[in-house]
Amino acid sequence: MTNPKKGQTRITIYPDWCKACGLCVAFCPAKVLEIDVAAGCARAVREQECVNCGFCELHCPDFAIVVTPRGKTRNGGTQPPQENGN
Amino acid sequence: MAEVTQLIHEYLRHDKKFPHVLCPGCGHGILLGSLIRSVHALGIPKDDVALVAGIGCSGRVAVYVDFNTVHAVHGRALTVATGIKMAKPDMHVIVVQGDGDALSIGGNHFIHAARRNIGLTVLVLNNFIYGMTGGQCSSATPLGCWSTTTPYGQMEKSFDFVEMTRAAGANFVSRGTVFHVKTLDKLVRQALVHPGFSLVEVLTPCHTQFGRKNKFKSPVDMYQWLKKAAMPLEAYEKLDPDKRAGRIPIGVFVDNHEPALETRYAAMRAKLAKG
């Protein structure tokens, strides 16, 4: 059984702003995110599992994470085809 | 959910240094986001908002956001805000204070601002400790908790901000946590439009100074604790009094509609002008 909400989103993390507090990683219901210790920030390792609940975006204390619907840019335009995750 | 972060970025002062100075996992950033979303949702223009902050970690909140901001003297944010509100009654004056700033050092100002019922929106960021100055105990440090100045545990009882503000006569008194963001958004929105003195006590974790000394291994543990301890006021009231220990009620405690000080003042001026 696949959740129809899954895989509809693209997650962008601003690595310079993220402080790796782990809040998004700990509370993500779909376990999408993980801390990249070497880079010192969170990474969306299982982006296809995202159910677009918005927890991470509402709770990020550093305003460093954006969840966008696939096929749209943050400014509302259409996504260029050569997107590459983070 | 795409619009949330983008909206916040539109309200930030990008010429300031980012990321902000607050520690990893600090809830102050979440409150700032909530405040921005609430102001935007109510359609209040940036220029009609005055954000007055005190000293401490909470004082940094005012630095990063593009409203009319004042970084006031320690404990005296409410006095500056009172002046602004009396001079410009149409302005939305928001005060952001910490627990030490609002009720330890500026305690008297707080009581009297609530008594006057002046139309301020006061957000008290209660992190149970003096965070910026090195983790000394504040008037909000719970009984038995450890801090730099109480190495064997706090012996004094802590302030109940909600009960105190209710007793002082404020119009709107509520409590939220940074974990329950949607409830917090609702409370901040209600406080912004409510006439008279409106308090939102926001429980926010300070892992660096409070959590590490009180058996919280990570900032995430503190959020887990908030998630577990906080419960809606209605459910809390139905709870058996024996089971209430350790639970924190959140929600709206006082919702009165008495006229605010600036309304009384305007009425008095109009009366005297008639002669």
CATH number at residue B205: 3.40.50.970
Nearest CA among B212, B208, B71 for reference residue B134: B208
Q: By CB neighbour count within 10 A (0-12 exposed, 13-18 middle, 19+ buried), where does B87 fall?
A: exposed
pLDDT tens digits along B77-107: 999 999 999 999 999 999 999 998 898 899 9
Could you tell me which residues come within 8 angstroms of residue B229 by beta carbon, excluding any fewer than 6 positions away?
A: B246, B247, B248
Asked if the structure places residue B213 within a domain, the reply is yes
Domain range spanning residue B206?
Answer: 15-274
Cα angle, residue B51 at apex, residues B207 and A62 outer, rounded to 5°? 35
Asked if the structure places residue A22 within a domain, the reply is yes
Query: How far apart are the C-alpha atoms of B99 and B123, rounded to whole Å?
Result: 10
Residue B237, SS3? helix
How many separate domains does chain A show? 1
Asked if the structure places residue A4 within a domain, the reply is no
How many separate domains does chain B show? 1
Chain A residues closer than 8 Å to B8 by CB: 63
Q: How far is A82 from chain B (nearest CA, A)?
A: 20
Interface confidence, given as ipTM, is: 0.86
pLDDT tens digits along B240-249: 888 888 899 9
Asked if the structure places residue B138 within a domain, the reply is yes
| pLDDT interval class at A72 (50, 70, 90) | low
Asked if the structure places residue B48 within a domain, the reply is yes
CATH code: domain of residue A40: 3.30.70.20
Residue A2, pLDDT score: 63
pLDDT tens digits along A22-50: 999 999 999 999 999 998 899 999 988 89
Smallest Cβ–Cβ distance between A19 and the set B19, B179, B181 belongs to B19
Asked if the structure places residue A33 within a domain, the reply is yes
Mean pLDDT of B134-151: 92
Domain range spanning residue A30?
Answer: 9-69
Query: How far apart are the C-alpha atoms of B220 and B218, rounded to whole Å?
Result: 5
What is the rounded average pLDDT for all residues in chain B?
Answer: 92
How many CA atoms within 13 Å lie on the side-chain side of B62?
A: 24
**The three-state (H, E, C) secondary structure of chain A, written as one string:** CCCCCCCCEEEEECCCCCCCCCHHHHHCCCCCEEEECCCCEEEECCHHHCCCCCHHHHHCCCCCEEEEECCECCCCCECCCCCCCC
Asked if the structure places residue A78 within a domain, the reply is no
Asked if the structure places residue B4 within a domain, the reply is no
CB contact under 8 A, B219 and A22: yes
Query: How far apart are the C-alpha atoms of B122 and B106, rounded to whole Å?
Result: 13
Asked if the structure places residue B3 within a domain, the reply is no
Asked if the structure places residue A47 within a domain, the reply is yes
CB contact under 8 A, A57 and B5: yes
**What does the radius of gyration of chain B's CA atoms come to, in whole angstroms?**
18
pLDDT tens digits along B232-270: 999 999 988 888 888 999 999 999 999 999 999 999 999
Q: How far is A12 from chain B (nearest CA, A)?
A: 10
Mean pLDDT of A3-16: 84
A vs B, Cβ pairs < 8 A, gives 81
Asked if the structure places residue A79 within a domain, the reply is no
In eight-state DSSP terms, residue B55 is: S
Residue B275, pLDDT score: 77
Asked if the structure places residue A2 within a domain, the reply is no
